[in-house]
Amino acid sequence: MANDAQYVRMTGSPISYGRAAATRRVAARRVSTPSNQETMMPQAQAKPGKLLLSPSDHTLILIDHQSQMAFATKSIDPVVLRNNVALVAKAAKEFSVSTIVTTVAAKTFSGPIFDEIRSVFPGEEFIDRTSMNTWEDSRITDRVNAIGKSRIVIAGLWTTVCVVGPALSALDQGFEVYVIADASGDVTDEAHERAMERVIQAGARPMTSLQYLLELQRDWARSETYNQTVATAIQHGGGYGLGLVYAKTMFGGSEGH
């Protein structure tokens, strides 16, 4: 192969030589560099992904599930909403999830919290606020800090205000945020959908109430929570719950075996 000086004398063009040399270097790299598939191949491991929730890694905040807020909620049927809220509350109780329950103007405007929450947490003192954004009440943030977990799971009425406010505020301060979409609701379908889009665009992760329960269980061989998880799913899991009833009744089905 001609050296630099010979190449220039033969072609009379240092520019042509430079282009040719660059071409040869690119070709050499293509030959010598392993393919991306060879260097980047992931290795499967039998362990959960880091984005999955576990009972001990997050704080659940249930916000303003009250009569007055539910009256105007049209994005979800109130019966379905109450069912889903009950499922979430029971899941949190069953798995000992750190939980904050808060209301707004309970005695002067919005009324009592859903019985589906009160019955699961009897004797609990719920934090009653005046602020629309839960995160702007220092009693809430003090509780979050005292609990000391960097993940926040939120459900509330209405999505545009009572979910968006704390979700965006928590994200801004470095928390990971999950929103249980079907345990929340708003005055119209569009209001709920736009609010969910807004928090998702900001980095929140959406999920559903049944997904929340099953993500906390995650393995039917976990016998200490198996019975209660199945009972909650049967009572509040809709068609899935009916399937569990059928399987157990007809042929003694058991998910853990």
Q: Which residues are catalytic?
A: 162
Query: What are the φ/ψ torsions at residue 177 (nearest 5 degrees)?
Result: -125, 135
Cα(80)–Cα(133) distance, integer angstroms? 25
Q: What is the DSSP letter of 58?
A: E
HSE-CB of 216 using CA atoms within 13 angstroms: 32
Answer whether 215's CB lies under 8 Å from 207's CB.
yes
Q: Which of 156, 108, 98, 151 is nearest to 132 (CA)?
A: 156
Cα(80)–Cα(28) distance, integer angstroms? 64
**What strand order describes the sheet that includes 176-180?**
127-129, 98-104, 58-63, 151-156, 176-180, 205-207
Answer whether 164's CB lies under 8 Å from 204's CB.
no
Count of C-beta atoms within a 10 Å radius of residue 50: 6
CA distances from 54 to 145, 151, 217, 221, 257 (A): 19, 10, 8, 16, 22
Cα(134)–Cα(149) distance, integer angstroms? 17
